[in-house]
Structure 1
Amino acid sequence: MLLTISTTHQPATDLGYLLHKNPARLQSVDIAYGQAHVFYPEATAERCTAALLLDIDPIGLVRNHRGPAGEGFALEQYVNDRPYAASSFLSTALAKTFNTALNGTCKDRPELPEVLLPLEATVASLPAASPEQLHRLFAPLGYEISLEAHPLDPTVPHWGPSRYHTLRLRHPALRLQDLLSHLYVLIPVLDRGDKHYWITQEEAEKLLRRGGAWLPQHPDREFITRRYLRFAEFVNPTLERLLAVDAEASDDEPVESPEPQGPVNLTTGNPQLETQSLHDLRLDRVAEEIRRLGAQRVLDLGCGEGKLLRRLLKLPQVEHVLGMDVSWRELERARQRLHVAEMPPRQRERLTLTQGSLLYHDPRLAGYDAAAVVEVIEHLDESRLAAFEQVIFARARPGAVLVTTPNADYNQRYETLAAGEFRHSDHRFEWTREQFATWAAGVAERHSYQVRIEPLGLEYEEVGAPSQLAVFEV
């Protein structure tokens, strides 16, 4: 079994620090049924590749095999793919040899685990029911996928392909910890129900620990959980916990709440009243901009309970709207508030509500004229904005993208906010006008968009408006 991981990050040899394995020497680790060897076929400042070679002892597999009584003479014990095909053995070896990287720690370079790297991974002889199954598992995580199918027998071509593939994954900007956690969970999912160890509650805890950051948003999370844990006594409670993570603790779930108690007129000391709530103003301005653009197919990313969707469906030019949110609970609220079940058929065909994350590539987002991302990015960790950028601007590439976010300069006008405090407990950051403009200009330059920024809400010369809108156009 062979796994290779490569990067062109500069200097590429930082990979050795992350994996806690010196590129200058071969290192071996004893595991059950064999040995794992780590070595570097290439290690230059421009490109570095680490290889994990798992050498399984087939005699040890039979000697230590535990199975039903009467199985002792079964031929399958001696003639099988277990020593050669990527399986739960490889996942176990990965966890043991790269444990430090899998936990996201690096003693010598503590800042390095959070760096987004261009990464490539190759897994040889990975079993799968079909190529589509591999795409279903890895594509939603943002990978570019290439497969090499292996024939059942090269000397007998008419037998056709086997179920084994060499899988190559590429990601333009990903933490190494995320890549390892994806492989650690998904490789055993492809086993045919013959994991090499007993499945207990401890395996459920491992799944939650290694997959908790991304599995709740994966469209095939139920399939993954069932294949990983096998038994309903572990699967069903684990799925319930994953659903709870999805509904209550997701990184990129946009939580709408009232703005802090009214902005204060610093001259009179009295609350400054506005004729329209800031939240409604944002939504109306975004809907008006989409009308001006003439967009016919529109994405509402982080759609929440559907307030913008309602406005978009009132625009005659809009032929179809896809509302996406990471929270299934919010999507159910949107269905109820929009009365989807009671819509006339032609109106119902204009709307799609779907669950998904803005941090992982989703082919469903391609082919749209405009995308609205209203008060969403501040709910993401800043370190994950590069992934968001790749998903929306590099992969989905709508004709226009509208992004709104709070203006941190304005926060001093809220009498209930202490210095440095965010407007919402779930905000991971709040940007000043200068910070937002710098980010927007960088995104536009990297992905060949034009961008303009405008204030949203009552504007003051010294601090600007409470919110800000960036309109990206191709």
Structure 2
Amino acid sequence: MLLTVTTTHQPATDLGYLLHKHPDRVQSFSQSFGTVTVFYPESTDERCTAALMLDVDPVRLARSRGKNTPDFSLAQYVNDRSYAASSLLGVAMADVFSTARSGRCRSRQDLADSAIPLEIAVPVLPCRGGAEVAHRLFGPLGWTVEAEPIPLDEAFPEWGDSRYVRLRLTGVVRLADALNQLYVLLPVLDESKHYWQGPDEIDKLMRSGEGWLATHPEADLITRRYLGRQGVLTRVALARLAELGDDVEGAIAPAEDEDVLQPAERRVPLNAQRHEAVQQLLLELRARSVIDLGCGAGQLLDRLVTTPSFTRIAGSDVSTRSLQHAARRLHVDRMSERQAERVQLFQGALTYEDERYSGYDAAVLMEVVEHIDPPRLGALERVVFGTAKPGAVIVTTPNAEYNMRYEGLVGMRHPDHRFEWTRDQFAEWSDRVAATYGYAVERRGIGDLDDVVGAPTQMAVFTTKEGAND
């Protein structure tokens, strides 16, 4: 199996820093199923290509199979795994380029955080559903996609095309994002994995899909294929994606999947319900100026911008990447001068005082507090409620008691959550904060109400005596 990554960013040899593999060396890495070799076929300041070649050992692969894995006789030795990209290549790439996938590069961190021109080529890629599926999966991520079907036999064109394509992707993308997208989508296109999948696969999918999967138009299809159509795992994963992104239920499956993916009852995702509830509450409070603290990719801001009653809107986040996504979502570059004066985006950490947080009728902390380490919550409270002190503060967070209703969920709803509160714990926290900083507090639920465990999302509405604008 072969995968090449090329850049023309100058100096192009900086690709070696990003991949943490020196262009002047040939390096080999042992895997349980074969050997990975990383080398550079070309390395100049103008153009640099890194190649990852996986030499699969079919005997070693067969011996590493679990004892309960079905035995398909010679199929375990005679197959396409020696040359066709698959989950084997994805796992090898994830291991060999693990630091690059994390986006860390001490010597070139600014470059690691930046989108650069990239060209990725996979000479032989199994693609169930044909080249169209490759376009549907990679196109929305900003890639220009070339997926050329490979004929069964060039000497006999009447036999038609095989299920393989030659894939070439070009675009301006952050390298870490590109590698994580490949890690998820290679086995999705193949629709096969070489290892047994358990609940930990959901966390792998969430980590690798962070920042792009939740809003991908084919998120449903990607999730089902990645998790091997295991119903329990898929339902849990889709529920967690609904917590993070826009509507992920509207994905269109390829024709051959239609008998498996029957239309489910349309429901408004919890994420959308949460944004609607917060927007309506801001209108009830008659707030004119609003700041979204931890705005992420700007989904709430997008709603607020289209509501004329909000005359001043700000979004702050610790992640510059999230702010870039928010700017694209809001089309900041195409805003009129009047609109641009109405909207502000800036980077900031909620555990440090910042005068830019002050002066708003209302502040929103939507699914933010659970990402803060508990020892740092006191700092956030002082910054938001004590120093910025808006007229109203809206806080939403998961209800840990409701997690039992997510079939197959193990642990918390997202791998980055530091904690998740029960309703009593949330009430205790919000009552203490209100008493400490001179607010009144009211609690509500968002989402389908369960008689036993409550609603999936809990919300606290803090108001000062003055409240928001009258």
When the two structures are superposed, what TM-score results if normalisation uses the length of structure 2? 0.58
Deviates more, 1:7-16 or 1:54-63: 54-63
Tell me the equivalent position of 1:420: 356
Does the CA contact (< 8 Å) of 1:86 and 1:127 recur in 2?
A: yes
CA–CA separation in structure 1 for the residues paired with 2:215 and 2:345: 29
1:81 maps to what in 2? 80
Secondary structure in structure 2 of the residue aligned to 1:217: coil
Q: Which amino acid aligns with 2:355?
A: A
The residue that corresponds to 2:101 in the other structure is 102
Shift of 1:79: 2.8
1:375–1:145 distance in 2 versus 1, CA, 3 Å: farther
Alpha-carbon distance in 2 for matches of 1:29, 1:202:
25
Residue-by-residue CA offset, 1:336-367 (whole Å, 9 max, x unaligned): xxxxxxxxxxxxxxxxxxxxxxxxxxxxxxxx
CA distance in structure 1 between the partners assigned to 2:321 and 2:70 by the alignment: 55
For 1:35 and 1:147, the matched residues in 2 are separated by: 27
Amino acid at match of 1:204: I
How far residue 75 of structure 1 moved from its aligned partner, in angstroms, is 3.8
Task: Give the equivalent residue in structure 1 for 2:343.
Answer: 406
State how 1:76-225 maps to structure 2 within 5 Å. 76-128=75-127, 129-172=129-172, 174-193=173-192, 195-225=193-223
Q: Give the aligned length.
A: 318
CA distance in 2, matches of 1:166, 1:31: 25
Q: CA deviation at 1:151?
A: 0.6
Distance, in Å, in 1 between the alignment partners of 2:204 and 2:69 is: 30
Distance in 2 between residues matched to 1:152 and 1:31, nearest whole Å: 31
Aligned mates of 1:211, 1:8 — CA distance in 2:
26
Structure 1 residue 59: deviation in Å? 2.9
Distance 2:57 2:162 in 1: 24
CA distance in structure 2 between the aligned counterparts of 1:171 and 1:64, rounded to whole angstroms: 37
Would the aligned equivalents of 1:39 and 1:50 in 2 still touch at CA under 8 Å? yes
In the TM superposition, 1:67-466 aligns within 5 A as 71=71, 74-128=73-127, 129-172=129-172, 174-193=173-192, 195-230=193-228, 231-246=230-245, 382-383=320-321, 405-406=342-343, 419-421=355-357, 423=360, 424=363
Q: For 1:212, give the aligned amino acid.
A: E
Residues 391/169 of structure 1: CA separation in 2 closer, same or farther (3 Å cut): farther
Cα deviation 1:368-410 (Å, max 9, x = unaligned): xxxxxx95886795446667788998xx99999975643699x
Check conservation: 1:379, 1:426, Cα contact below 8 A: no
Q: Is the 8 A contact 1:119 1:170 kept in 2?
A: yes
CA offset digits 1:176-233 (Å, max 9, x no partner): 110011001111112233x111111121111111112211111111111111112122
CA contact (8 A) 1:122 1:168 kept: yes
Task: Report how far residue 277 of structure 1 moved.
Answer: 7.9
Q: Tell me which amino acid in the other structure corresponds to 1:232.
A: G
2:7–2:49 Cα contact (<8 Å) kept: yes
What amino acid maps onto 1:406 in structure 2?
V
Gaps of 5+ in 1: 262-275, 281-300, 312-373, 410-416, 429-474
Aligned residue identity for 1:115: S
SS in 1 for 2:357: coil
Aligned counterparts of 1:104 and 1:242: Cα–Cα separation in 2:
22
Alignment gaps of 5+ in structure 2? 247-269, 291-297, 347-352, 369-470
Question: 1:154: how far off?
Answer: 1.3
Question: d(CA) in 2 for partners of 1:397 and 1:149?
Answer: 39
Letter in 2 for 1:39: F
Identity %: 41
How far residue 420 of structure 1 moved from its aligned partner, in angstroms, is 3.5
**Contact 2:39/2:50, CA 8 A, preserved across alignment:** yes
Structure 2 residue identity aligned to 1:140: P
Query: Per the alignment, do residues 400 and 141 of structure 1 end up closer, same or farther by CA in structure 2, a change over 3 Å counting?
Result: farther
Distance in 1 between residues matched to 2:70 and 2:170, nearest whole Å: 46
CA distance in 2, matches of 1:408, 1:204: 32
Q: 1:398 to 1:33 in 2, by over 3 A?
A: same
Cα gap change, 1:421/1:123 in structure 2, threshold over 3 Å: closer, same or farther?
same
Structure 2 match to 1:27: 27
Deviation at 1:310, TM superposition (A): 9.0
Query: Does structure 1 retain, via aligned residues, the 8 Å contact 2:299–2:326?
Result: no
Instruction: Rate the CA distance shift 1:114–1:407 in 2: closer, same or farther, 3 A.
Output: closer
Amino acid at match of 1:156: F
How far is 1:308 from its partner?
7.7
- CA 64–406 in structure 1, closer or farther in 2 if over 3 Å, else same: closer
Tell me by how many angstroms 1:60 deviates: 2.6
- Describe the superposition over 1:259-309 as per-residue Cα deviations: whole angstroms up to 9, x where unpaired: 9x9xxxxxxxxxxxxxx98579xxxxxxxxxxxxxxxxxxxx969797887
Q: CA deviation at 1:169?
A: 0.9
What's the counterpart of residue 249 of structure 2?
none
The structure-2 alpha-carbon separation of the partners of 1:388 and 1:164, relative to structure 1 and needing over 3 Å to count, comes to: farther
Q: CA 1:176–1:307 in structure 2 vs 1: closer, same or farther (change >3 Å)?
A: closer
Q: 1:258 to 1:68 in 2, by over 3 A?
A: closer
Whether the 8 Å contact between 1:212 and 1:242 is mirrored in structure 2 is no
**CA displacement 1:22-66 (0-9 Å, x = unmatched):** 000100100121101101111111111111111111233334445
Q: Distance in 1 between matches of 2:147 and 2:61?
A: 29
| Counterparts of residues 10-21 of structure 1 (less than 5 Å) | 10-21=10-21
Q: For residues 327 and 240 of structure 2, what CA distance do their matches in structure 1 show?
A: 29
- Contact 2:93–2:183 (CA<8 Å) still a contact in 1? yes
Pairwise CA RMSD of aligned residues?
4.1
SS at match of 1:111: helix
Amino acid in structure 2 at the alignment position of 1:421: Y
Describe the shift of the 1:169–1:278 C-alpha distance in structure 2 as closer, same or farther (beyond 3 A).
same
Distance in 1, matches of 2:58 and 2:345, equals 62
Cα distance per residue 1:297-327 (max 9 Å; x no partner): xxxx96979788799xxxxxxxxxxxxxxxx
Q: Distance in 2 between matches of 1:408 and 1:212?
A: 21
- Structure 2 residue identity aligned to 1:149: P
Distance (whole Å) between structure 1 residues aligned to residue 69 and residue 113 of structure 2? 50
Once the two structures are TM-superposed, the CA of residue 421 in structure 1 deviates from its matched residue by 2.3
